[in-house]
Amino acid sequence: MEHEFYLGLAQRVRIIAEKADPFTRRRLLDLAKRYDAKGGSRPAHLVERPLPLPRTTPPAPIFSGPGEA
């Protein structure tokens, strides 16, 4: 949640920087970089992991021959 907040702030600051004078633009872009750093990469518990592949039935030789019931 905090991740998206800081990245959103960085984006808004960049939009404002587009309309600013050169001195202010440079300072706003530096601020946006700091917000990006605070947002950082997604925390490990929020990173989506692929689902495991479904199990398939074992090969036929495992089931062949005398078995236990």
pTM: 0.56
pLDDT of 4 strictly over 90:
no
Considering the domain boundaries, does residue 9 fall inside one?
A: yes
Token pair of 24, please? 């202010």
Give the tens place of pLDDT for each residue, 33-67.
999 998 875 555 555 667 777 777 666 666 566 65
Considering the domain boundaries, does residue 61 fall inside one?
A: no
Give the tens place of pLDDT for each residue, 13-26.
999 999 999 999 99
Burial tier of 9 (Cβ tally within 10 Å: 0-12, 13-18, 19+): middle
Considering the domain boundaries, does residue 55 fall inside one?
A: no
pLDDT of residue 27: 96
Considering the domain boundaries, does residue 32 fall inside one?
A: yes
Count of CA atoms in the C-beta half-sphere (13 A) of 23: 0
Query: How many domains does the chain contain in total?
Result: 1
Range of the domain at 26: 1-40
Considering the domain boundaries, does residue 1 fall inside one?
A: yes
